[in-house]
Amino acid sequence: MQSEIDSLRQRITELEAEKAELEAKNSELLKRVIEETAKYKAENVELKARIEELEKNKMETAELRDRFTIVEQRQMLNESVPLGLPKGNNSSDKDSSNFNFSSTSVIEEKSSEEKDIDKFLDDAHKKSVADNIRRCNKEKKFSVRRVSKM
């Protein structure tokens, strides 16, 4: 009977040691889960911030595209006015003045950054027009030289 009690006590000791090992493993796994959860939460915060930034950039891009379209429309209106006619004799000139008036009132409400963007787009358009004029003049000179050589 004494040997049975001793063997049971030994078995209890073994089970308690096994229990302690399992509790240590459980604690370690719980720590890992907590660390990984914190890591994923931080990553989610970063991703949400990135998404917000991309959506903001998308809206800014759309606004710039709209402004560029307005500048192109202004170009088209300015280019559609025939050369040599005084302003005021052309009905499309009246339309362009109305358009410029309405777009001017919109520009007055814009921030300085938006005004800078508009100025940049206008300057880019002016440069493009100037480059086209230079190219046309070169082509005319070239064609005149070709004709004079023949």
Are 53 and 124 contained in the same domain? no
Three-state DSSP string of 89-135? CCHHHHHHHHHHHHHHHHHHCCCHHHHHHHHHHHHHHHHHHHHHHHH
- For residue 25, what pLDDT is reported? 97
Are 28 and 87 contained in the same domain? yes
Q: By percentage, how much of the chain surpasses pLDDT 70?
A: 79
Are 37 and 86 contained in the same domain? yes
- For residue 113, what pLDDT is reported? 80
Task: Tell me the CB-side half-sphere exposure of residue 43, using CA atoms within 13 A.
Answer: 6
Are 58 and 18 contained in the same domain? yes
Are 74 and 122 contained in the same domain? no
Listed in sequence order, the residues at least 6 apart from 71 whose beta carbon sits closer than 8 Å to its beta carbon are 118, 121, 122, 125
Are 31 and 100 contained in the same domain? yes
pTM of the model: 0.37
Are 36 and 64 contained in the same domain? yes
* 88 phi/psi in degrees, rounded to 5: 105, -25
- For residue 150, what pLDDT is reported? 62
Residues of the chain with pLDDT under 70: 80-109, 149-150
Listed in sequence order, the residues at least 6 apart from 75 whose beta carbon sits closer than 8 Å to its beta carbon are 125, 129
Are 97 and 125 contained in the same domain? no
Are 79 and 134 contained in the same domain? no
Are 88 and 30 contained in the same domain? yes
The region that residue 88 occupies, defined by phi over 0 for left and psi between -120 and 50 for alpha, beta otherwise, is left
- For residue 17, what pLDDT is reported? 96
The answer to whether residues 121 and 68 touch, using CB atoms and an 8 Å cutoff, is yes
- For residue 80, what pLDDT is reported? 67
- For residue 103, what pLDDT is reported? 45
How many domains does the chain contain in total?
Answer: 2
3-state secondary structure of 150: coil
Are 82 and 144 contained in the same domain? no
Are 24 and 12 contained in the same domain? yes
- For residue 69, what pLDDT is reported? 87
- For residue 96, what pLDDT is reported? 44
- For residue 15, what pLDDT is reported? 97
- Could you list the residue range(s) of the whole structural domain that residue 144 is in? 112-150
